[in-house]
Amino acid sequence: MSVRVYNLSEKLGITNAELIEILRSRGFVVKTASSTVDNISAESLVEEFTSKGVDKGKSESSDPDSEVVELTKNSKEEKVVGPSAAATSKGVDKGKSESSDPDSEVVELTKNSKEEKVVGPSAAAIVKTKEEVDHERQERIQAKRPKPAVVKPRVPGMIPPQPSSSPLKPISPDPLSVALPSKTDSKSQSSPVPTAARIPPDRDSQPTGPQRPQTAVPPKPVKSGEETKADSQHQKQEVAIDESQLKSLELKPPLVVRDFAGHLGLKPFRLISELMEFGIFASMNQVVEEDVAQRLARNHGYRLEVRHRGEKAQEEQEKTKIEEPEKKEAKALVPRCPIVCILGHVDHGKTTLLDTIRKTDVVAGEAGGITQHIGSYQIKHNGQKISFIDTPGHAAFSRMRARGTRITDIAVLVVAADDGFMPQTDEALGYIQDEGVPIVVAINKTDVPGANVDRVKGQMQDRNIAAEDWGGETLTVEISALKGERITDLLDTILLQAEVMEDLKANPEAPVDGIIIEAQKDVGQGANASLIVQNGTLQIGDALIAGPYFCKVRALFDDMGQNLKLAEPSTPVRVTGWSGPPESGAAFRWVKNDRVARNEAKENELEIRKQGQDEVPEETGATLENIFDAISKSQRKVFRVILKADVFGTAEALAECLEDIKSEKIILEVVQTAVGAISKNDVQMAHAAEAAVVGFNVNQESGVVSEAKHHGINIYRNNIIYELIDVVREAMADTLEPEKKENKIGVANIRQVFPVGKTGKVAGCMVVEGRIARDNNARLIRDGKIQVESKIHALKRFKDDASDVRSGYECGIRLVDYDDYREGDVIECFEIENVRPTL
């Protein structure tokens, strides 16, 4: 919306020429009275002229202080005559009331004051003296801080006496301040131009927006000889006052003009006018820069602090790390049960050992007889609790083993007596030593043929973990997990190791925190996670947050599936109610309620996305090697897959294994990794991405098979990870073009050339090797060089057609589209075989 200049001049009560001059001086491009001004600027001008209707300062006399005229409530009514802003001072009875300060005089108009005519839209007349002009110029120098005043047109009123040095107090809406003109400047004040339009030649010519009310103490006029010194002292005092009175304002980016104005308690057009003073022309929907916003907020009595996403969570984490020792010292810590991690090579008896301890049969439920998940359990031995974490031993689950060592107190390294130390055993030992976790070696399968305990202890000594009976410090127990031999000794050894550890304590009254072990998504329960509580006591209804996911605890289950009401420190528990399956190994913590958890999870998600966008690959110089690599990659095919697994940990391990499949012919790209059953959405996404669906230990929802058949999508499923990897490898090979392999069938020498008809020729040949078959591929070789590659068009034995002729027999041969035969040429017969490609 815009306003015509002539309409605006009528509202302001000045001529078009005067308004055009004012607008041009403020940077507006105005040519005629029919030109337009934007609505925001017009409202700003109207408000400015209205606010300037009240005297800004005191009229100056020989003293630097002013004379103030106070209109009493009983003074006669003023008449509004015309658009002029000047007022006459006839008939005003001046009664000077001198105070102890000789710098100011207060004149009160009594009831017998004569009627005073006022011209202009304002209810109060404005008369400016030379001293007032100087005073206004000084006010502009002093951070442009005018005295707050709100004036309503056609409402006469009175002015209360103004204190000379005390801070400003709220002004009553009735009184109106009128400056008393001096006799020497009465002629100069009769100009019809209002105060807002007056621009003295010595004033700064930059356009200014409407002046805003301030709560700080207004500056006192000083003598001309002391202006610089007084200004400096006043600014220092003003900064000190502002620093003590600033209110804290915390906002998140982006700082949009409309919203930022609301936080400051301003109207948007007022904030836009203030931005214009900084040389910034912005609309209500544009974003304000942080440094500009902080300056604006400071002018309005606020100390602005911009909070970027993720900073609060990071500060809280750092604060938690700093306060954690103090928290432990300040609050009583109670002993907790040890968390024991079972590590070792695949098929060395880790899960069988736990089955024997728990008197269960977990091995029977694992596909292929190997553990493919992290399991967490808790048992009681001699009245004391022990929490166990079972990790997979297969090479594909190296990250799971590393995660297990990070959250454990004691590590039990299981070594088979017949195999000794294997690759995954050494890998697990490396994780244990890196984390500095106390170790207990369990030598298993001591009852099988070929068991050699001394060989295992010798390998331990080679790895600097010598057993106690070999002069070392490593606790070692010889067991048979299958028969249950010496299992009690192993548990006693674990408890003995836990007794000497002084840091096995936790605060059950502290806010809950811990580590996510596994996460999955069930059809009936939705997203749930297995976790271990490290501090605090987890209860139903608590709100948790782990990365981009949050949870309001609906139910708690132990390792046997029994419902729990609470979970104390070091307790493994399965929690339902998550918004999504959190990442395995992620830390979770307690928050006040689910609303806070939802907001923080959303902030974490945005921060993760932002970090992904900020991760720009490092640019390297263009070398010949890089160019050839880029060309090679562009020529290779891409096999895209969508992974679905039962839990997050196995999905993560499967994705790593598939990405480790290297080939110079094809690249495997994992489009998405998720947990849960294969759904129609997965098939549709695979169709859009031209990918296959790979499912590990998951089922298919109804309608998935028909949907996949309709779109031509391949679905590969298996419950054993290494078998599934082989299936995917074979599927990748099937997508490659078959390789061509040439097999030589026979060779024939041309003995004589016979003409056939007017132009045709037949080669009389003797088959010297293999056989010559009709319609097979053939090439003619002359002097060791290939003359032509073609096919055998006709093959005859004497006058009869033959399908093939074997070695040692004569025949006649004609090739397709070729008859330049010569004696001594050789005809080779061969066939092309398609061979399945390999990666």
Which pLDDT belongs to residue 652?
Answer: 80
**pLDDT band per the 50, 70, 90 thresholds, residue 558:** confident
Q: For residues 6-25, give the mean pLDDT.
A: 85
Q: Is the pLDDT of residue 696 over 80?
A: yes
Domain edges within the chain = 2-51, 247-306, 334-506, 513-613, 635-735, 740-835
Q: Is the pLDDT of residue 780 over 60?
A: yes
Q: For residues 303-332, give the mean pLDDT.
A: 58
CA distances from 512 to 319, 359, 559, 564 (A): 16, 31, 20, 16
**pLDDT band per the 50, 70, 90 thresholds, residue 78:** very low
Nearest partner of 272 among 40, 38, 23, judged by Cα: 40
Residue with tokens 């996949």: 708
Q: For residues 323-337, give the mean pLDDT.
A: 63
CB 6 within 8 A of CB 34: yes
Q: Is the pLDDT of residue 104 over 70?
A: no
CB 586 within 8 A of CB 548: no
**pLDDT band per the 50, 70, 90 thresholds, residue 283:** confident
Nearest partner of 575 among 426, 376, 795, judged by Cα: 376
Q: What is the pLDDT of residues 376-420, one digit of tens each?
A: 788 888 888 898 887 764 444 556 566 666 778 888 999 999 889
Structure tokens belonging to residue 828: 């080779």
Which pLDDT belongs to residue 838?
Answer: 81
DSSP state of 470: G
CATH classification (class only), 513-613: mainly beta
Nearest partner of 56 among 192, 195, 158, 206, judged by Cα: 195
Residues above pLDDT 70, as percent of the chain: 67
Nearest partner of 378 among 411, 349, 340, 416, judged by Cα: 340
CB 799 within 8 A of CB 724: no
Q: What is the pLDDT of residues 701-728, one digit of tens each?
A: 888 999 999 989 999 998 888 888 889 9
**pLDDT band per the 50, 70, 90 thresholds, residue 314:** low
Out of 55-69, 307-321, 714-728, 806-820, pick the least confident: 55-69
R_g (Cα) of the chain, nearest Å:
47
CA quadruple 27, 33, 39, 43: dihedral sign: positive
Neighbour tally for 163: CB within 10 Å: 10
CB 653 within 8 A of CB 396: yes
Question: CA–CA separation, 195 vs 125, rounded Å?
Answer: 10
The H or E element spanning position 426 is helix 423-435
CB 348 within 8 A of CB 393: yes
Could you tell me the pTM of the whole model? Answer: 0.49
CB 56 within 8 A of CB 144: no
Structure tokens belonging to residue 302: 């606020």
Q: Is the pLDDT of residue 178 over 50?
A: no
Question: CA–CA separation, 309 vs 604, rounded Å?
Answer: 8
The H or E element spanning position 17 is helix 16-25
Angle, helices 594-614/311-330, rounded to nearest 10 degrees:
120
**Which residues participate in the annotated binding site for GTP?**
344-351, 390-394, 444-447
Residues above pLDDT 90, as percent of the chain: 15
Q: What is the pLDDT of residues 112-157, one digit of tens each?
A: 333 343 334 333 334 445 455 466 656 655 544 444 444 444 444 4
Residue with tokens 């598939």: 658
Which pLDDT belongs to residue 647?
Answer: 81
Q: For residues 460-489, give the mean pLDDT.
A: 89
Backbone angles phi, psi at 788, to 5 degrees: -160, 150
CATH classification (class only), 740-835: mainly beta
Q: What is the DSSP track for 373-399? A: S-EEEEEEETTEEEEEEE---SGGGHH
Question: CA–CA separation, 290 vs 292, rounded Å?
Answer: 5
Question: CA–CA separation, 726 vs 334, rounded Å?
Answer: 50
- 705: Cα within 13 Å, side-chain hemisphere: 4
**Looking at per-residue confidence, does 239 or 789 come out higher?**
789
Q: Quick one: fold of 635-735?
A: Rossmann fold (3.40.50)
CA distances from 93 to 65, 109, 123, 126, 158 (A): 21, 6, 20, 18, 16
Question: CA–CA separation, 552 vs 832, rounded Å?
Answer: 66
Q: For residues 598-604, give the mean pLDDT.
A: 89
Q: For residues 744-773, give the mean pLDDT.
A: 89
First to last CA, the chain: 69
Q: What is the pLDDT of residues 508-535, one digit of tens each?
A: 888 999 888 888 887 777 888 888 898 8
Question: CA–CA separation, 34 vs 285, rounded Å?
Answer: 29
**pLDDT band per the 50, 70, 90 thresholds, residue 692:** very high
Residue with tokens 């020497």: 184
Question: CA–CA separation, 642 vs 651, rounded Å?
Answer: 11
According to the per-residue pLDDT averaged within each range, which of 122-126, 252-256, 408-412, 627-631 is highest? 408-412
Question: CA–CA separation, 113 vs 504, rounded Å?
Answer: 92
Nearest partner of 670 among 648, 696, 650, 689, judged by Cα: 689
Residue with tokens 């936790």: 506
CB 43 within 8 A of CB 58: no
CA angle, 28 as apex, 25 and 30 as ends, to 5°?
100
Nearest partner of 579 among 540, 538, 528, 539, judged by Cα: 528
Backbone angles phi, psi at 414, to 5 degrees: -90, 125
**pLDDT band per the 50, 70, 90 thresholds, residue 208:** very low
**pLDDT band per the 50, 70, 90 thresholds, residue 543:** very high
Which pLDDT belongs to residue 633?
Answer: 58
CB 581 within 8 A of CB 503: no
Q: Which CATH number fits domain 334-506: 2.160.20.10, 3.50.50.60, 3.40.470.10, 3.40.50.300?
A: 3.40.50.300
Which pLDDT belongs to residue 408?
Answer: 84
**Which residues participate in the annotated binding site?**
344-351, 390-394, 444-447
Dihedral, CA of residue 291, residue 293, residue 295 and residue 299, to nearest 10: -170
**Looking at per-residue confidence, does 192 or 19 come out higher?**
19
Q: What is the DSSP track for 745-791? A: EEEEEEEEEEEETTTEEEEEEEEEEEEEETT-EEEEEETTEEEEEEE
Q: Omega into 511 within 30° of 0, i.e. cis? A: no
CB 397 within 8 A of CB 391: yes
Which pLDDT belongs to residue 441?
Answer: 93
**pLDDT band per the 50, 70, 90 thresholds, residue 39:** confident
Mean pLDDT of the chain: 73
Mapped onto helix, strand or coil, the DSSP state of residue 538 is strand
- The secondary structure of 87-104, three-state, reads ECCCCCCCCEEECCCCCC
Same fold, 635-735 and 740-835: no
Which pLDDT belongs to residue 193?
Answer: 40
Which pLDDT belongs to residue 148?
Answer: 44
Type of residue at 453: V
